[in-house]
Amino acid sequence: MPACPEGADAVILEALKRLDVQVTLGEANEKYLSGQSTQIPAFTQIKTPRRFTRQLSVGRSQINA
C-alpha cells in the first residue's frame, strides 16, 4: 500500500493523472467540493472515459473493477 496522507483515493487519482486520463468526480463529490452541500460523501466516485478499461486498485479502493 503506498503511503499517502490523503488515502487510497488520492493515489488512484494521481495514477490516472500520470496516465493522462481525464476524470470527473461523482455528483455528490462535486456538490461537496463546490460548497453546495455540507454532507460528506461516503465514498469517492471517479468517472473515466469509456475507452479507459484498466483496472486500478489500492487496498480496498478499486476503479473499473
Domain ranges of the chain: 8-53
Q: What is the pLDDT of residue 1?
A: 54
C-alpha 42/C-alpha 52 separation (Å) is 24
Confidence class of residue 6 from pLDDT cuts 50, 70 and 90?
confident
**pLDDT for 12-63, tens place per residue?**
888 899 999 999 999 999 999 999 999 999 888 888 888 888 888 888 888 8
Residues forming beta bridges with residue 63, ordered by sequence position: 56
Q: What is the pLDDT of residue 54?
A: 85
pLDDT at 2 over 80: no
